[in-house]
């Protein structure tokens, strides 16, 4: 089985996880720059600015900012048709509410996009990927304040205009639905002492949805050729048993994941969304024009991340940490070193789930395997476990296309090159097909080494998915 003509094979990363150069060339501090390193057993700390004596892995990351030509050349060697990354908002507007953009930041992405296009690689750009300028947190408590919607719109106008004709595929907020699991990493928002957590987070969510809708409308006005999607995290919940109560719980858990995409695709809050407010005693502050803003900013496609599945249960049972949220383990699945259930069938299920629900194109923009890769005595990095993960997942993606009729735009593997893990803040939890010599303490030469998965993925792309051997 091959992928259809025009299918976008490639890889993905995010500015805050690999660029580094966190205050270089006029860049301001972002929320991501205020998260310390962590581990599987230790949560990352979100500090008030940068505190002396603490290690912040994003500050250098894997230094894509100074290695981008070398790295893009490697992506081209793999045969990428698309490369997904993000623009660091604070590289363009260092404080978020600046009147004028930072030209040096704009120029960096000009050069990056030009280089990608020179190799025939389509830039797929997320407007913000956990990268809200930290100054907006300090001044407004981020998107808890509606004024941040306008600042985001100003930023979008700048980048849509600047990169018109260069970038045609966009997404608004990365994994926007993780907002409801704390909001710190997504926007940097802090819950004021004594405030109702649900009220704060759902109000922030409303502002994010308004900002996304305004971005979509604006992007279409500036360039009618733009395709602008949402991007949601899809961990996927199965019922633990055929017990009816477990079935209902799985329905509820999955519905929580759809709260944002339902609104972004349909342009209005569903009755289920309104019932969620009612159950939690939340009264959103809305302006009369908000309904029209949402209606005018419906997305063109659904982008999503998929790494793992879990189960929904009505019995008391321990949950484990998954991608940005805790889940009940699925006993039928093997697990990664970080306890994430390996479920390739779940990718096929997710593709069908989104397509059945919305009937618009879907795009798997994150799918990957974090592992503690090591350089062998021969100087190479052998990662058969990653190849096997991708082989199984891509096989199910092809079935979704050919057997189920799902309209899939592309597949960008997470990740193209090693970078900082967003969840744990580690380097040793490596996702890339290109090894970067850097460790959890920030030591290393930053030398790039092709892993075995590099050549394997090159073969997959060249065969349009037909050769998975």
Residues annotated as part of the active site? 175, 366
**Distance of alpha carbon 467 from alpha carbon 1, whole angstroms:** 9
- In 330-352, which positions are buried (b, 16+ CB within 10 angstroms) versus exposed (e)? beebeebebebbbbbbbbbbbbb
Sheet strands (E) in 256-323? 301-305, 310-312, 319-321
β-pair type (319-321, 326-328): antiparallel
- In 437-468, which positions are buried (b, 16+ CB within 10 angstroms) versus exposed (e)? ebebeeeeeeebbbbbbbebbbebbeebbeeb
Which stretches within 335-416 are classed as H helix? Answer: 344-358, 384-402
- Return the structure tokens found at 296: 């005018």
User: Within 13 Å, how many C-alpha atoms sit on residue 47's CB side?
Assistant: 16
Q: Of 447, 429, 442, 291, which Cα lies nearest the Cα of 368?
A: 429
Whether residue 45 contacts residue 35, with contact meaning beta carbons closer than 8 Å, is answered with: yes
Residue 125 phi/psi, 5-degree rounding, is: -115, 125
Q: Is residue 415 reached through a cis peptide bond, with omega within 30 degrees of 0 on the bond before it?
A: yes
Residue with tokens 């199965």: 238
Q: What is the DSSP string of 196-224?
A: -HHHHHHHHHHHHHHHHHHHHHHHHHH-T
Whether residue 465 contacts residue 413, with contact meaning beta carbons closer than 8 Å, is answered with: no
**How crowded is residue 376: how many other Cβ atoms within 10 Å of its Cβ?**
9
Whether residue 89 contacts residue 133, with contact meaning beta carbons closer than 8 Å, is answered with: yes
Residue with tokens 């390193």: 37
């Amino acid at each position: 089985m091959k992928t259809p003509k025009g299918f976008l094979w490639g890889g993905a990363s995010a500015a805050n996880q690999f660029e580094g150069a966190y205050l270089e060339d006029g860049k301001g501090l972002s929320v991501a720059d205020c998260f310390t390193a962590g581990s599987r057993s230790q949560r990352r700390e979100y500090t008030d600015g940068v505190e002396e004596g603490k290690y912040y892995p994003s500050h250098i990351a894997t230094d894509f900012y100074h290695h981008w030509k070398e790295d893009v050349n490697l992506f081209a060697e793999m045969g990428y048709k698309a490369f997904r990354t993000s623009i660091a908002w604070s590289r363009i507007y260092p404080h978020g509410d600046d009147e004028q953009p930072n030209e040096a930041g704009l120029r960096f992405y000009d050069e990056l996009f030009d280089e990608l296009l020179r190799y025939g690689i389509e830039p797929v750009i997320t407007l913000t990927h956990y990268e809200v300028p930290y100054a907006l947190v300090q001044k407004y408590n981020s998107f808890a304040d509606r004024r941040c919607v306008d600042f985001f719109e100003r930023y979008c106008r700048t980048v849509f205009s600047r990169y018109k004709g260069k970038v045609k595929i966009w997404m608004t907020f990365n994994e926007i639905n993780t907002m409801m699991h704390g909001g710190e990493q997504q926007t940097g928002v802090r819950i004021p002492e004594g405030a109702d957590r649900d009220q704060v987070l759902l109000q922030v969510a409303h502002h994010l949805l308004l900002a996304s809708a305004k971005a979509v409308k604006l992007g279409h006005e500036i360039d009618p050729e733009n395709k602008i999607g949402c991007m949601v995290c899809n961990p996927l919940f199965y019922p633990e048993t055929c017990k009816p109560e477990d079935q209902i719980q799985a329905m509820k858990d999955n519905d929580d994941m759809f709260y944002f995409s339902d609104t972004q695709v349909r342009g209005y809050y569903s009755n289920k969304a309104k019932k969620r407010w009612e159950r939690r005693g939340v009264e959103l502050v809305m302006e009369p024009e908000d309904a029209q803003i949402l209606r005018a900013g419906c997305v063109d496609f659904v982008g999503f991340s998929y790494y793992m599945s879990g189960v929904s249960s009505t019995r008391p049972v321990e949950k484990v940490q998954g991608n940005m949220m805790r889940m009940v383990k699925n006993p039928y699945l093997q697990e990664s070193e970080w306890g994430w259930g390996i479920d390739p069938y779940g990718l096929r299920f997710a593709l069908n789930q989104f397509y059945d629900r919305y009937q618009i194109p879907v795009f798997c923009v994150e799918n990957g395997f974090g592992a503690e890769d090591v350089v062998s005595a021969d100087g190479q990095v052998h990662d058969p476990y990653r190849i096997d993960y991708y082989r199984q997942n891509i096989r199910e993606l092809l079935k979704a296309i050919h057997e189920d009729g799902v309209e899939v735009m592309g597949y960008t593997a997470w990740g193209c090159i090693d970078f900082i893990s967003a969840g744990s803040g580690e380097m040793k939890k490596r996702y890339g097909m290109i090894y970067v010599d850097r460790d959890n303490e920030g030591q290393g030469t930053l030398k790039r080494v092709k892993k075995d998965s590099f050549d394997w993925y090159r073969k997959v792309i060249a065969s349009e998915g037909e050769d998975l051997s």
